[in-house]
């Protein structure tokens, strides 16, 4: 222990640390070293009371909430401080004293076995935190009026430093929030694909509240259920149960001691889904809730716009009658699959299909019946293909199919199954004209061709079309491979 004017040295060194450092863990470590030079210090800790979450946090651990035992112990001390801030200045071994008690020797009796001093940190003369000094040796001679005056100055300097840190973090949070809002606004202007948009929104929000887990749920229009869209998994049953109850009238919901927040996504009075923020440690603060509410509103606009665009795009890429890809979309997919097959040296087959004697169906039963036949044939084609096969209405009664990663032998087997299933089908056209008309049957002809590495893009479906022509001119209701 050093006694030569050590209070001034103590203040000088602490001032230097607070001036030159901003990281909380570095500050606590350096302050500990300084106090260790003047006394047998075993530990220095700083705890801050967070008014937003009503929790005590360890300043040195970037605001991580301390364990339950110490939280209760120090929170009790803080409650006393908040209620009686003008009546005490510090604790020595859990007994409160005022600095003036040490101004005159003999007015206060202390034992030699002193191992802990608690000093309040004040903001506007009200305590909001505690500095804990734990010692391993006898420091009774150190406890002078001058020493506690020095500690008061240290408390004042440290309070300013911490308040500036908190203010800087709040300012950075505001900056991050406005950046997130601007970025989501940019997405609104430039992106329409939900598979691209949702991960971006999720990552932006995740960076904004990095200490919380973020989930984005969207409504599945097919089954009406709210399903997880991003990330891939959520195993918290409380969240899944709460999300399933979200509807257009739902407001922000806080669960699990305010550690889980559910923010509905509403677009044009329609439920789109919800955003969930979840923490295993801390509560959502008032500011975070307000920010997430605004981010959810902005995200709702983005998602709603993407869904409207997807609907328009669907009509632009799908054939209105059959629901298959239209010719424009077929040509786009043809380019993609052609490039993939050529780059990866993978097999690719094209299939051209035509409904036999279709003109006779129109002439006999009318165009509505003809449309009914085309819809039924399209549904049978779709049902007979694999998920990754690409079926399109090429024009009139003609259909085009791309079969990626498929050799000609496999394509022939698929084509034969399609031909047989359509030949066996009975198509009910009674609702399209004469109610007494019996179900009718139609057949199809199919031409096949397998892509070769030297082929151009057009050759792929042109050769399949030539094979189709051969099938039509040699009896119909058959599959022909181009040779």
Preceding amide of 310 cis, omega within 30 = no
Angle between helices 327-344 and 457-473 (to 10 degrees): 120
Element (H, E) at 129: strand 126-135
**Burial letters for 244-259: b for 16+ Cβ neighbours within 10 Å, e otherwise?**
eebeeebeebebeebb
Within 8 A by CB and 6+ apart from 256, the residues are 238
Element (H, E) at 171: helix 145-190
User: What number of other Cβ atoms are within 10 A of residue 426's Cβ?
Assistant: 9
Would residue 397 show up in a list of annotated catalytic residues for this protein? yes
Residue with tokens 């932006």: 204
Q: Residues 99, 100, 105, 107: is their CA dihedral positive or negative?
A: negative
Q: Are 277 and 214 in contact (CB under 8 A)?
A: yes
Q: Are 407 and 450 in contact (CB under 8 A)?
A: yes
From the candidates 311, 397, 410, 423, give the one annotated as an active-site residue: 397
φ, ψ (nearest 5 deg) of residue 154: -60, -45
- C-alpha distances in Å from residue 325, one per residue of 24, 318, 319, 445: 60, 4, 6, 20
φ, ψ (nearest 5 deg) of residue 400: -125, 140
Report how far residue 133's alpha carbon sits from residue 112's, in angstroms, rounded to the nearest whole number: 16
Residues assigned a catalytic role: 397
């Amino acid at each position: 222990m050093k006694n030569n004017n050590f209070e001034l040295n103590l203040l000088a060194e602490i001032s230097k640390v607070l001036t030159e450092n901003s990281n909380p863990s570095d500050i606590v470590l350096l302050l500990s070293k300084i106090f260790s030079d003047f006394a047998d210090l075993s530990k220095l800790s700083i705890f801050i009371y967070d008014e937003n979450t009503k929790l005590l946090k360890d300043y040195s651990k970037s605001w991580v909430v301390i364990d339950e035992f110490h939280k209760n112990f120090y929170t009790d001390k803080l409650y006393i401080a908040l209620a009686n801030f003008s009546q005490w200045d510090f604790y020595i071994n859990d007994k409160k004293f005022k600095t003036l008690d040490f101004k005159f020797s003999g007015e206060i009796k202390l034992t030699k076995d002193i191992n802990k001093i608690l000093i309040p940190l004040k903001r506007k003369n009200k305590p909001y935190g505690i500095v804990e000094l734990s010692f391993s040796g006898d420091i009774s001679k150190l406890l002078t009026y001058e020493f506690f005056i020095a500690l008061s100055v240290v408390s004042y300097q440290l309070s300013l430093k911490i308040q500036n840190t908190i203010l800087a973090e709040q300012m950075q949070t505001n900056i991050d929030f406005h950046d997130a809002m601007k970025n989501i606004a940019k997405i609104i202007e430039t992106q329409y694909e939900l598979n691209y948009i949702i991960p971006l929104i999720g990552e932006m929000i995740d960076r904004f509240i990095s200490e919380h887990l973020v989930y984005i749920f969207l409504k599945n229009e097919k089954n009406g259920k709210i399903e997880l869209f991003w990330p891939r998994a959520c195993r918290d049953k409380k969240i899944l149960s709460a999300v399933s109850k979200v509807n257009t009238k739902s407001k922000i919901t806080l669960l699990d001691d305010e550690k889980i927040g559910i923010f509905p996504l509403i677009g044009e009075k329609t439920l789109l889904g919800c955003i969930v923020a979840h923490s295993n440690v801390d509560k959502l603060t008032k500011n975070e809730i307000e920010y997430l509410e605004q981010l959810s509103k902005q995200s709702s606009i983005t998602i709603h716009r993407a869904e409207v665009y997807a609907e328009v795009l669907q009509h632009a890429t799908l054939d209105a009658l059959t629901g298959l890809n239209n010719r424009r979309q077929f040509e786009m997919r043809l380019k993609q699959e052609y490039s993939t097959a050529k780059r990866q040296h993978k097999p690719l087959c094209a299939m051209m299909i035509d409904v036999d004697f279709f003109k006779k169906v129109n002439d006999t039963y009318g165009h509505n019946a003809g449309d009914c036949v085309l819809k039924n044939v399209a549904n049978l084609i779709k049902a007979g293909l694999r998920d990754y096969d690409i079926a399109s209405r090429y024009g009139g009664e003609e259909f085009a199919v791309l079969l990626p990663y498929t050799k000609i032998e496999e394509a022939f087997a698929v084509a034969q199954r399609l031909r047989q299933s359509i030949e066996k089908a009975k198509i009910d056209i009674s609702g399209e004209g004469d109610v007494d008309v019996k179900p009718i049957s139609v057949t199809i002809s199919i031409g096949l061709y397998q892509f070769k590495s030297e082929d151009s893009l057009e050759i792929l479906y042109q050769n399949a079309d030539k094979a189709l022509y051969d099938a039509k001119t040699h009896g119909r209701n058959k599959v022909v491979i181009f040779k």
